[in-house]
Structure 1
Amino acid sequence: MTDSESAATAQAARSSRSGRGGKRERLVRAAVQVFHEQGMEKTTLGDIARTAEVPLGNVYYYFKTKDLLVEAAVDAHCAHLDALTARLDALPDPAARLRELVAGWVDQRATAARFGCPFGTLATELVKRDDGLDQVAAKVMRAQLDWVESQFTQLGRADAAALAVELVAAHQGLSVLTHTLRDPGLMAAQGERLQAWIDGIAGR
């Protein structure tokens, strides 16, 4: 478990002891988990309540509709991305940050093989809608692209935006293939290639 994940777990434990905030936190964590494991459309509020170990009636106290819970799950993904990039920004140079980003993807290869990318699978469902939730999902993906672009910019690349798209698209494509083929080794092998690609761009 990373330092940021440990801090998040500790915060969640404190929230759980605080009553109302604890139930809401558990519901959001459960929504993120269940949306990832079985898809947003197939998931019911009952599924989330059971996973969160919260009475179904309490769900409506915090979230009047399923869409509000979806928004909260997207916000949780955004918070996770913020915590991840803050941790990566502590590393000494942009190439090291990008390599560590890829290493994190590889570390999640078993999960990707079973369920796909945690946020990518949700985003794929949300972009089919035109009720605003599609734009909420795009916000998180854009934030990731912007951070990756900033790393390539710091490496002096004039084509930083294109390189960011290439790297993030490679991850999403790898997640789909890893999930479809149920082959975590694919993510591991291609992760090494992506890290070598980053080193080449950095002139190493």
Structure 2
Amino acid sequence: MTNSRGGKRERLASAAARVLHEQGVEKTTLADIARAADVPVGNVYYYFKTKDQLVEAAIDAQDSDLRTMIEALEAMPDPRERLKTMVGGWVDQRDLAARYGCPTGTLAAELDKRADGLDERIGAVIRTFLDWMERQFKEMGRDDARELAVALLAAYQGISVLTNALRDPELMVMEGRRLTAWLDTL
């Protein structure tokens, strides 16, 4: 029984992350998330009493996905190759970015307007990513590691917004090439 509970809860959290990315927090209903998770809507309340709890679970799911990605990248021996592989992953997600933007960035922008603590939770996910990037630049021997990490993350967030606003996935491809070449110069 514990496994099925955990499975349903995880399905709901994963579905919440996906649906919130596609529709936004305000437009998403518990029924939308239940449908996406293939869980009866009445069962949602067993796991999550409010929509905000589901948003929090979606943030946790994004954090978990980020940590899984970082763990996979850490298996690579060279920090520059880790960063270039990360950029390649962004490019691979260009169609998703063209439709909905960056999952974490768009959620952060939406939650920032609420000031209910969830904005700080998603900010912590972004900070984890930024800190990881900084460590890569430090491993490359860079004294300006924090500035480089901010520049890289800002470039990604910026191109995600443009890719989404203009519905042009090729913008992500172009910026991916530029960022990869930039990383090779450092």
User: Does TM-score exceed 0.5, indicating one fold?
Assistant: yes
Q: Which amino acid aligns with 1:198?
A: L
Is 1:71–2:59 an aligned residue pair?
no
* Runs (5+) with no aligned partner, structure 1: 1-14
Which of 82, 87, 99 is the aligned partner of 1:102?
A: 87
Equivalent position of 2:75 in the other structure? 90
Which of 114, 117, 125 is the aligned partner of 1:129?
A: 114
CA deviation after TM superposition for structure 1 residue 51, in Å: 1.1
Distance 2:123 2:144 in 1: 22
SS of the aligned residue for 1:18 comes to helix
Aligned residue pairs, count: 186
TM-score (norm 2): 0.97
CA deviation after TM superposition for structure 1 residue 92, in Å: 1.6
User: Deviation string for 1:125-178 (max 9, x for gaps)?
Assistant: 111121111110110000000000000011111110011000001000000000
Is 1:173–2:158 an aligned residue pair?
yes
| Identity across matched positions, percent | 61
Matches within 5 A, 1:5-154: 18-154=3-139
Contact 1:127 1:137 in 2 (8 A): no
Contact 1:26 1:52 in 2 (8 A): yes
Which of 138, 142, 163 is the aligned partner of 2:148?
A: 163
Q: Which amino acid aligns with 1:27?
A: L
Equivalent position of 1:196 in the other structure? 181
CA deviation after TM superposition for structure 1 residue 118, in Å: 1.3
- Would you identify which runs of 4 or more consecutive aligned residues in structure 1 move more than 6 Å? none
User: Deviation string for 1:55-109 (max 9, x for gaps)?
Assistant: 1111110000111111111011111111101111111211000000100000000
Q: Which amino acid aligns with 1:173?
A: G
* Runs (5+) with no aligned partner, structure 2: none
Distance 2:10 2:119 in 1: 23
After superposition, the CA RMSD in angstroms is: 1.3
